Amino acid sequence: MNPVCIAIISNENSPLLMQTSTAYKSSELDLMFLAHSSLDVIEEKLTVRSTGVDQRELYLGQLYPTEQYKIYGYVTNSKIKILVMTENTSQNIDQEVKTLFKQLHRSYAQLMYNPFYQPGDKIHFPSFVKYIEDILK
């Protein structure tokens, strides 16, 4: 798996953090548009999930494919959305993405313990940003 971009989006759909891998810095704006667009699919999936059986499943799977990227979604119980974008290859990376989401979720939960972080604010903490950057390397 080669993640291209990771985005953390608030429960009000505003971006809290969005990091792009160095190789894709020039496409950062496009990726941001894609991340924003995928909120439509997330909302659809959440609506379906609210009427479905298993509401505990946080992993939303692949949101929608583009010619270049695959976008995977994950939503926490507090409606924080995590997006991972990868290159659009034929490889089945579902399990890897799932594992990555769980790691990201755990790290975000740890961030919430930080008394200096106000939930809903943009994430600027260097340690967390570096953690994301390391994933994207």
By CB under 8 A, name the binding residues for another protein: 12-15, 29, 32-34, 36-41, 44, 64-65, 67, 88-90
Query: Which CB, 30 or 96, lies closer to another protein?
Result: 30
Q: Give 35-58 as a DSSP string.
A: HHHHHHHHHHHHHHHHHSS-----
**Do 3 and 20 touch, CB atoms closer than 8 A?**
no
CB of 119 to another protein, least distance (A): 15
CB of 35 to another protein, least distance (A): 9
One-letter amino acid at 42 equals I
Query: Which CB, 15 or 123, lies closer to another protein?
Result: 15
CA dist 105 and 53 (Å) reads 23
CB of 106 to another protein, least distance (A): 26
Query: Which CB, 120 or 127, lies closer to another protein?
Result: 120
Point out which residues pair with 119 in neighbouring strands: none
CB of 103 to another protein, least distance (A): 25
Question: How many other CB atoms are found less than 10 A from the CB of residue 102?
Answer: 14
Residue corresponding to tokens 């496009």 = 30
Query: Which CB, 43 or 57, lies closer to another protein?
Result: 43
